Amino acid sequence: MSTHEEWLAWRSSREADLAQEHGWLSLTGFAWLTDGPASVADLPGTWWADDDGAHVAANPEDRLVVDDEPVAGSVAADVAEGASLLWVRHDERVVELLRRGGRLAVRVRDPRATTLRDFTGVPTFKHDPAWVRPGRFVPASAPRVVDVRTARADLVQQARLVGAVDVDIAGERHRLDAVSHGEGLGLLFHDTTNGVSTARWRTVTTTAPDADGNVVVDFNRTVNLPFAFTDHGTCPAPPAHNRLDLAVTAGERAPA
């Protein structure tokens, strides 16, 4: 299989993942939980958070279900910082519980969402082998935790930087702070296409570093974060120095 064919197969897998019935394209609502029982958007029941986690109170006729059992009274759950849980079902919808910036929130995933119903794929730049770039991972002596902005104006998160990747682009070396991402390294970055043909920022994952720290950065596999498709994402922005003063004309464009 050629590199271009591998990229096409990866694109097909990427879009199938986006189009899952309760995937990123199904998000229809987001709400921070308060410390007193309150209604949430168009969901039945009352919802709140305290030191014991998140709570929902409902009657069986509200059709809220947890672990295949109708909610009759109240139920509670909790998640760690940065984690999420598909917690409560309401007919076809799923209510996701998440913790971000020390606060608990719920997010609604609805397979009837217009963003999912109308999805026909993500526009991309044409595959270009020139955007497959060599890089070298420079590990930090110890991981560094920094505050980063997010797609939400009311949320700041923390990123755990494990080092940086030096990547050669057009004969110049650029350094991008990196987070762990699977076996590789995640590089969130800005470039001069942002707000023109691409979203406000994007991300690419490198190959796993070899014994000498060498990696491959295939910018053809640069992707949008969920915030590019929905207003309900909590996606972290790039670390302060991850700004490329050039146009990365590779990978995913802004959704149509």
Sheet containing 172-181: give its strands across. 202-205, 184-189, 172-181, 156-169, 132-149, 214-218
Are 55 and 49 contacting, i.e. CB atoms less than 8 angstroms apart? yes
Q: For residue 41, what pLDDT is reported?
A: 82
Instruction: Count the domains in the chain.
Output: 2
Q: For residue 2, what pLDDT is reported?
A: 86
The verdict on residue 234 lying in a domain is no
Domain boundaries, position 191: 121-228
Alpha carbon distance 31, 38 (integer Å): 11
87 and 183 share one domain: no
202 and 189 share one domain: yes
Q: For residue 118, what pLDDT is reported?
A: 97
110 and 141 share one domain: no
111 and 134 share one domain: no
184 and 109 share one domain: no
Helix (H), strand (E) at residue 180:
strand 172-181
This prediction's pTM = 0.94
Q: Which two tokens stand for residue 160?
A: 């755990």
Neighbours of 214 (CB within 10 A): 14
Q: What is the pLDDT along the chain (256 residues), one digit of tens a residue?
A: 788 999 999 999 999 999 999 999 999 999 999 999 999 988 999 999 999 999 999 999 999 999 999 999 999 999 999 999 999 999 999 999 999 999 999 999 999 999 999 999 999 999 999 999 999 999 999 999 999 999 999 999 999 999 999 999 989 999 999 999 999 999 999 999 999 999 999 999 999 999 999 999 999 999 999 999 999 999 999 999 999 999 999 999 999 8
| Domain endpoint, select from 117, 136, 158 | 117
The verdict on residue 18 lying in a domain is no
Helix (H), strand (E) at residue 12:
helix 3-18
109 and 129 share one domain: no
The verdict on residue 248 lying in a domain is no
109 and 80 share one domain: yes
